[in-house]
Chain A
Amino acid sequence: MSKIELKDWQEKIRTPEIECISRDEMASIQSKRLVEVVNRVYDNVPFYHEKMKDLGVEPGDIKDISDINKLPFTTKEDIRNNYPFGLRAVPEEQVVRVQGTSGTTGKLTVIPYTQKDIDVWGECLARELTMAGLTKEDRIHICYGYGLFTGGMGLDIGVSKLGATAIPMSSGNTKRQMMCMEDFGATAFACTPSYALYLAESLKEAGVIPRLKIKAGIHGAEPWTKAMREKIEGILGINCFDIYGLCEISGPGVAMDCIHHKGLHIQVDHFYPEILDPGTGTATKEGEYGELVFTTLSKEAYPLLRYRTKDITSIDYSRCDCGRTLPRISTFKGRTDDMKVIRGVNVFPTQVEQALVSMGGAVAPHYLLVVDRVNNLDVLTVMVEVDESYFSDEIKKLDALRDKVGKVLKQALGIAVKVKLVEPKTIQRSEGKATRVIDNREI
Chain B
Amino acid sequence: MIKQLSVFVDNRPGSLSEITDNLKEAKVDIRAIASFDTPEFAILRLIVDKPEEAKEFLADKGFIVKISDAIGVELTDETGSLNNLLSFLAEADINLNYIYTFIYRNRKAPVLVFGTDEIDSAIKTLKDAGEVLVDHSEL
Contacts and interface: CB of A to CB of B under 8 A. Distances in A.
A425 B38 contact: no
B40 A393 contact: no
Contacts of B10: 422-423, 426
A399 B42 CA distance: 11
A395 B40 contact: no
A395 B36 contact: yes
A391 B43 CA distance: 10
B41 to A, nearest CB: 6
A388 B36 CA distance: 19
Interface of B: 4, 6, 8-10, 15, 36, 38, 40-41, 43, 45, 59, 62-64, 66, 68, 97-98, 115
A103 to B, nearest CB: 37
Chain B binding surface, main DSSP class: strand
A214 B29 CA distance: 61
Count class of interface residues, chain A: 10 to 19
B97 A391 contact: no
Most buried by A among B15, B64, B115: B64
A391 B64 contact: yes
A423 B6 contact: no
Given A393-B68, A395-B43, A421-B40, 5 more contacts: A391-B64, A393-B4, A393-B45, A398-B8, A423-B10
Interface of A: 386, 388, 391-396, 398-399, 420-426
Contacts of B4: 393
Contact of B8 (A386, A396, A399, A420): A386
A393 B43 contact: yes
A147 B68 CA distance: 62
A91 to B, nearest CB: 64
Contacts of B64: 386, 388, 391, 423-424
B14 to A, nearest CB: 12
B68 A421 contact: no
